[in-house]
Amino acid sequence: MKVQRIDNIKEQEFIDKYLLANVPVIVTDGMKDWKVDKFGPQQLDQAFGHYEVQIYDDLFELQTIDTLHSYLLDNFNKPAGNTHKPLYIRWYTKLKEVDFFWADEVFEKLSDSWAHPYFIPNDNLVIPYTPEGGTANVNEAYYPYRGLFISCKGARTRLHKDPFNSNAVLCQFYGEKEMLLYAPDQQPYVMNEHGFVDPKNPDLQKFPQFNKARPTYEDVLAPGEIVLFPAGWFHDVTCAGDSISITWNFVHHAEKEQLSEFIRLNPEDSQLEIVQFFLQGRKL
């Protein structure tokens, strides 16, 4: 089944029908006024090719640091299967108190080339925290896992769900991404003490229940489209060709209790330092 595609939606309707209803959706007109051409591979290479970037495998493990120019030269415009497991750039802005190769300066320089999507709330947020009456526009403010994904053909993010009951947004600037989505009720079949199953190459000894799993959606995200992966949804994403996207996560105030429950049940979760960074010392 394909993900529902919509346009011209009011923010409150998006919140009620999709975000809080926990329903994935693709919005087709959310990038129409952006300077999308600024995010092409040649344009990014010309502007930021000398910057050092974070290069990852298909399951969030940092592999190396290299320049953007070197990655594009070695990986873009190559035939499929050129590398055994294609790596890709996850170029995050600061999300915890460590010195790293963050993309803060790049996002600052690109902030006028895109905007906070018109239908996504920029207030009443728990993560990142917005005070009463305050707002946080994603093109200007820090958000968890806000980053540029610069990926060669065949690069993949294996099946996972996003941390601490957060929602994920993915904006597609260049190329296409093949998406496989499993609903939260499929968790017993796709996740256990071994981690997440690889639906393209399942280890049935570790995941004996996987044969019961049924994906809810299979679709392709095209340039100019924005997809919402609501909290708890499992998604597996593969680049059909060379690809450039922007992503980030957030938790709405109406989801505060679910976040509190996650923290209570998972006090040792490694991602909680990111929660604390964005709570800025405040208690839920």
Q: Domains for the chain: give ranges and CATH numbers.
A: 5-279 (2.60.120.650)
**In the predicted model, what is the mean pLDDT of residues 191-214?**
97
pLDDT at position 282: 77
pLDDT at position 24: 99
Of the candidates 149, 172, 150, 157, the one whose C-alpha atom is nearest the C-alpha of residue 228 is 172
Confidence of residue 146 (pLDDT cuts 50, 70, 90): very high
pLDDT at position 98: 87
Of the candidates 113, 146, 99, the one whose C-alpha atom is nearest the C-alpha of residue 47 is 113
236-264 confidence digits (pLDDT tens): 999 999 999 999 999 999 999 999 999 99
**In the predicted model, what is the mean pLDDT of residues 125-132?**
95
Phi/psi for 61 (5° steps) reads -95, 120
Cα(202)–Cα(223) distance, rounded to whole angstroms? 30
Confidence of residue 97 (pLDDT cuts 50, 70, 90): confident
**In the predicted model, what is the mean pLDDT of residues 9-20?**
99
pLDDT at position 60: 86
53-87 confidence digits (pLDDT tens): 999 999 889 999 999 999 999 999 987 655 568 99
pLDDT at position 130: 96
pLDDT at position 80: 65
pLDDT at 137 over 80: yes
CB 197 within 8 A of CB 191: yes
pLDDT at position 172: 99
**In the predicted model, what is the mean pLDDT of residues 4-33?**
99
pLDDT at position 283: 77
pLDDT at position 196: 97
155-186 confidence digits (pLDDT tens): 999 999 999 999 999 999 999 999 999 999 99
**In the predicted model, what is the mean pLDDT of residues 186-191?**
98
| Cβ-count burial 127-161 (b if 16+ within 10 Å, e if not) | bbbbeeeeebebbebbbbbbbbbbbbbbbbbbbbb
pLDDT at position 79: 79
**In the predicted model, what is the mean pLDDT of residues 33-53?**
98
Q: What percent of the chain has pLDDT over 90?
A: 92
Rounded to the nearest integer, the mean pLDDT of the chain is 96
Greater model confidence, 66 or 101: 66
